[in-house]
Amino acid sequence: MKLLLIVFCGLLGGLPAPLLAQTSLPHRPEQLLVVTTAHWQAVSGTLQAYEWQAATRQWQPVGRPLEVALGRTGTAWGAGLHSPDLLPTGNVPRKREGDGKAPAGIFALGTAYAYARDAQVQATKMPLLVVDGQTRCVDDPASARYNQLLRQDTVTQDWQSAEQMRRADVLYKYGLVVHYNTGPQAEPGAGSCIFIHIWSGPGRGTAGCTALPEADLLGLLRWLDPNKRPVLVQGPQTVVAELARHYGLPAGAAAEKKP
């Protein structure tokens, strides 16, 4: 499961955005990554970054809309910072381990990671983890360490399956952890190891992560600031629009009509 970033070309012109919603997120974010897709099965989506401007009390778009790849079978509703009462009506897929779907909802963004602390990531303000051949993300629901990022040589192994974070390819060369189903309340089997990372190409789905070109991902890593409590808002455009309405957030750029 995988990652993301952006090359920014400066702030764009003012875009109408709601002020503060009557319902606030507990996380109180000041930076957003808003990913929208055309429908639940869509593999491609559009990412737009935003930053809260206290002077104008508005969300300001940052950079241009970016094409991203999502789960190979689309997206599915998952638990996050949003209220579970906002579950969309109808036949809505729910995120499960191994379903090939990226989680939909609102999620905090955490540690950045890289194969090396090179010049490309030196400027990031996010906490940075350098991964090596011992770094794993456990995706076995039966493990007590389910959905944990760890070094396998420092713990007693109780899992049958885990992702190797230092891969033979460059897809995990740079990435960012999405806090989906993490912490003490993690539900076994609800999905694990969700990242924003480098894609393998446009329209080529992931195991459940959000992915984009390396240059775009690096741009994002340089921009994100943990002091501004960045979050990912993600899902089909109609779902993101409802989350945006409820929490007073921008609804993102229009999702392109792609499979």
Residue 8 maps to a domain: no
The pLDDT of 91-105, averaged and rounded, is 97
pLDDT at 89: 87
78 pLDDT band, cuts 50/70/90, is: very high
Residue 187 maps to a domain: yes
Residue 165 has φ and ψ, to the nearest 5°, of -80, -25
pLDDT at 27: 79
Cβ atoms of 196 and 3 closer than 8 Å: yes
Residue 145 maps to a domain: yes
Compute the residue count for the chain. Answer: 259
Mean residue pLDDT of the chain comes to: 90
Determine the distance from the C-alpha atom of residue 85 to the mean position of all C-alpha atoms in its chain, rounded to a whole number: 21
pLDDT at 19: 32
Residue 155 maps to a domain: yes
pLDDT at 3: 36
Residue 215 maps to a domain: yes
Cβ atoms of 95 and 190 closer than 8 Å: yes
Residue 17 maps to a domain: no
Per-residue pLDDT of 114-154, as tens digits, reads 999 999 999 999 999 999 999 999 999 999 999 999 999 99
* Measured distance CA(252)–CA(234) in Å, rounded: 9
Question: Is pLDDT of 200 > 50?
Answer: yes
Q: Which of 45, 42, 51 is nearest to 10 (CA)?
A: 51
Question: Is pLDDT of 14 > 90?
Answer: no
Residue 47 maps to a domain: yes
Question: Is pLDDT of 11 > 50?
Answer: no
More confident residue, 21 or 254: 254
255 pLDDT band, cuts 50/70/90, is: low
Residue 63 maps to a domain: yes
Domains: count for the chain: 1
What proportion of the chain, given as a percentage, has pLDDT over 70? 89
Determine the distance from the C-alpha atom of residue 173 to the mean position of all C-alpha atoms in its chain, rounded to a whole number: 16
Question: Is pLDDT of 20 > 70?
Answer: no
Q: Which of 92, 45, 77, 39 is nearest to 191 (CA)?
A: 77
Cα torsion angle, 221, 224, 229, 232, sign: negative
Q: Which residues of 150-187 are buried (b: 16+ CB within 10 A; e: fewer)?
A: eebeeeeeebeebbebeeeeebbbbbbbbbbbbeeebb
For residue 221, the enclosing domain spans: 31-85+96-247
pTM: 0.88
pLDDT at 244: 96
The pLDDT of 201-207, averaged and rounded, is 96
